[in-house]
Structure 1
């Protein structure tokens, strides 16, 4: 390139005047793509099955085994236990109340001890009855505890030499019956 001289053929810009109108805008109703498509020439190779997880396929779950038929437990033993426990608790409370009201003036400490044992017996028996009827195992234990405490009350009466009607001497049969019924296997099956 020379300075100041006329432009040479190498450096000269060629400018042309448009000879015709510009081409019309493309018609987009026919989509033209730049992808070359060709027809397949042979069979496609089978693609491997994609692995979507690293966790191996689990075996189908085993079929559930036949369980033995469920037998309904008879509520007879539990009902008998509850009935005898209610009667036993009522009889124990009546005798303890009678004893406390009669001996309060002569031996207050003995009456307080009998009152405490009666409250413990009543709480254990009531809790045991509710638990037994709700089919909980602890109900049997609570009934036994309440009945043993009731037997302790009657033992205290007999040791103290209280003058009691003849009927009272037969009442300890009720707590013994409640213990026996609570420990029956049929009552245990009811609680399961």
Structure 2
């Protein structure tokens, strides 16, 4: 496991690796990421290809992952990163291989690939949707700040600085009740 940014957030599984355990989440949740090659604009009007992780969903309490990778010895398709502090039960691969053949076959039949139903097209669409949303939010914030500043309104200063947790008493009397 490798630490990302926060003390409680860990990379549990890296995509492309055959994992050596099956995990059952007891508490907390994990985010599931798929990697994609995205384009990033540089300041010099050039574009650079960068590998990006796109969040495709979450695994919550009472869900498991890794069965297919362990039993069939195939690479895991997703990167699993803990979203909060996670408590999970781990079953090592040697314990699973020690099970009889019938039980292993039943595990294969009942297990599903973690977010295996997602195609590359789904991942690209999700990436584009999030990139457009981010671009729109930046444009909207910039436009709002510019229009407010143009009209002499600077949020947080002067009469625009309000720390009300509720409606002030002197304004309650002037409210119209129907």
TM-score by length of structure 1 reads 0.21
TM-score by length of structure 2 reads 0.22
Looking at secondary structure, tell me which structure has more helix per residue. Answer: 1
Looking at secondary structure, tell me which structure has more strand per residue. Answer: 2
